[in-house]
Structure 1
Amino acid sequence: MSLPNLKILRTFLEVASQGSMTDAATALGYVPSAVSSHVADLERELRVRLIDRSPGSRLVLTAAGRAVQAAAAELLVSTTSFQDAVGELADGHVEELRLGSFPSALAHLVAPALSGVADGVRLHIVEVETPAGLRMVKSGEIDALVAYRYLPDDEPYARDGFQVSQLGHDALTLVASSDRDWDFAACVDARWVAGHAGNGDRRLLERWARSLRFKPTIRYEVEEFQSSLALIQTGCAVGLLPTHVAAPSIDRGLIRPVALPDDLSCPPREILGVTRTVHRPRVVLRLFDELTVRLGG
């Protein structure tokens, strides 16, 4: 039997990790029908059922599915190691770089930093949130990732086979609507917008609030900062946003930063550069250095 297509194996591993065809499609940037087709193709090729598909419930791997999951993960790691070894033979020179970045950094940070550091290199850029991006680094689907970390105990972890470089800190700003004068006390009593429970930005907000002895009333849970901006602009909520995300709306007078008492400050999030431990081409080093400079590191 020939080996299954590596792209199909990566899709299956993402489905196994997410427990959902739809969530796997979102993480991979595919449409759900493509993910379902990949899994069906793999089951047909292996002649075994890999997933129990009970309507309305989380997908569960069969015994065969768990065995294939373990074998596929090992195969992809071995394939990645081979690719890394070949890459090192070129003494760090690459003609193509597969780079992932979370969306807000791609627009405001990564794109400006790429000018001049990637001459002669063909770039394939993937817009991906950090959790899915880490899986893509580990599988070898991308070479490097610009990631965020809200709390020190969040992933990525070096023990998982990553080489993690701290590029700097991304300041957060407390913002509110521009239709009234806000102070910190008013924000404490206001409705807040944040990510879903368990998300890094939500946990950072809650930890910061506990340190200041208040509990924010999180009335709105959102997936992306554009939704937060819209809710803040219309006066529905206040929130902590990355400064570079909030800045354009502040400059246009759509929202306003809220001044904090002199003894308080907003917490930052870390911006990280992530690669596999044995694969760091020179163009990646130059990019990470440029990002460090731009972040004031």
Structure 2
Amino acid sequence: MIDIQRLRVLREVARHGSFSKAAAALRFTPSAVSQHIAALERSAGTDVVHRSTRGVRLTEAGRLLADTAETVLAELHTARARLSELAGGRRTLTVATFTTGGRRLLPAALAALTAAHPDVEPVVLEREPEDAIALVRAGEADLALAYRFDRALPLRPADRDRLAWTPLGPDPMSVVVHRDHPLADRKSADLTEIAGERWVLGCSKTADFLHRQAAEAGFELRVSGSSTDYYFAQAMVRARVGISLVPGLAIDPGPDLAVVPLNAPRPTRHVGIVTARTTRPEVGTLRAALTGSAARRALRR
């Protein structure tokens, strides 16, 4: 018999790649995590992880059990929620969202949800796409508002049968400069011609993109400011620290800033919704409301 708690421990080891990080997530000691994995290996009759000084990685059997753990634990989470509803407990709908999507798209959609389902209590978690999707996969969130940026979403082959992606549309990126900057009156610009400017970075994914562009062009990116918040980055642009690359949803317009669209190939985030393929009616209500919010924000599929 394979113990559910040991599957939960294996899932965290798979997520974090080490016993110590899994222990921190579970609030266990690393020794306890190691003991759970050893017990799981005894019950499974095979090794589930390869151990080394650089961390741990799953064996083929470990990957099989980790995928099984995701499915089993998600079903248990759903069952507990349904049992709570049957017992007269509160009904919740958990949404995981990236920051700008939560700020620009989610409020109106949540208002529509609560109007249609006043007995449902929304719970909102701020997460980057890879973490938000993991929460839906694990049954710990009902819906994820996510995006992909010049690469595929972090979905796995096994997700195709369990998760659904509803595209909301493209969110192209533009250069934001101070109104006094020489670029301010331009109708558009090529990224290669301005790559040597002083840059303020507002997101690690944007930073990765710009560093790759600079490396391909043969020069080093000049970074004058760095943050994980596009709004903070634009505040630094207002202070003339540098220019920034910002997606449309995050642009914070004002008289002291100018927005310059980039010419093709224009970097673009593709925004969408991740849900389980089988959902409650209220999840469908929220998904439809988010589609409406995206249309009003001029995101198009």
Contact 2:168–2:272 (8 Å) recurs in 1 = yes
> Which residue of structure 2 lines up, in the alignment, with residue 27 of structure 1?
none
After the TM superposition, which residues 163-178 of structure 1 pair with which residues of structure 2 at under 5 Å, given as runs?
Answer: 163-178=164-179
Distance 1:155 1:100 in 2: 15
CA contact (8 A) 2:19 2:56 kept: no
* CA-CA distance at 1:295 after TM superposition: 1.6
Q: Which amino acid aligns with 1:78?
A: V
Instruction: Establish whether residue 117 from structure 1 lines up as the match of residue 129 from structure 2.
Output: no
For the 8 Å contact 1:191–1:217, the answer to whether it is kept is no
Structure 1 residues 260 and 275: alpha-carbon distance in aligned structure 2, compared to 1, 3 A threshold:
closer
Shift of 1:79: 3.9
The secondary structure found in structure 2 opposite 1:251 is: coil
Alpha-carbon shift at residue 157 of structure 1 (Å): 6.4
Distance 1:188 1:79, change over 3 A: closer
Residue aligned with 1:116, SS: helix
Distance 2:207 2:67 in 1: 30
Aligned twin of 1:78 = 72
SS for the counterpart of 2:147 is strand
1:59 counterpart residue number: 55
The one-character-per-residue Cα deviations of 1:115-156 (angstroms, maximum 9, x if unpaired) are 031332122222110012222222222221110112364444
Contact 1:117 1:286 in 2 (8 A): yes
Q: Judge conservation of contact 1:222–1:228 (CA < 8 Å) in 2.
A: yes
Pairs within 5 Å for 1:1-297: 2-4=3-5, 8-16=9-17, 33-35=24-26, 37=28, 39-47=30-38, 52=51, 54=53, 58-61=54-57, 67-68=61-62, 70-81=64-75, 95-118=91-114, 119-151=118-150, 153-156=152-155, 160-161=159-160, 162-183=163-184, 184=189, 187-194=194-201, 195-196=203-204, 199=205, 202-203=208-209, 218-220=221-223, 222=226, 224-226=228-230, 228-247=233-252, 250-251=253-254, 253=256, 256-260=257-261, 267-277=267-277, 279-296=278-295, 297=300
Distance 1:203 1:234, change over 3 A: same
- The AA in structure 2 aligned to 1:41 is A
CA distance in 1, matches of 2:28, 2:148: 34
> 2 CA distance for matches of 1:72 and 1:152?
25
Q: Residue type of the partner of 1:243?
A: G
Could you say what the CA RMSD is over the residues aligned between the two structures, in angstroms?
Answer: 4.2
C-alpha deviations, 1:160-194, integer Å up to 9, x for none? 33211012232433101345443447745413344
Structure 1: any 5+ residue segments left out of the alignment? 25-31
For the 8 Å contact 2:6–2:36, the answer to whether it is kept is no
After superposition, the Cα gap between the structure-2 partners of 1:151 and 1:21, relative to the gap in structure 1 and judged at 3 Å, is farther
Q: How does the TM-score come out when normalised to structure 2? A: 0.68
Q: Deviations over 1:59-110 (max 9, x none)?
A: 22486xx75554233133134356669999x9xxx93212111122112221
Number of equivalences = 268
Q: Distance in 2 between matches of 1:72 and 1:157?
A: 13
Q: Which amino acid aligns with 1:284?
A: V
> Matches of 1:240 and 1:72 in 2, distance apart?
38
**CA distance 1:39–1:145, change in 2 (3 Å):** farther
Kept in 1: contact 2:9–2:37 (CA 8 A) = no
State percent identity of aligned pairs. 19
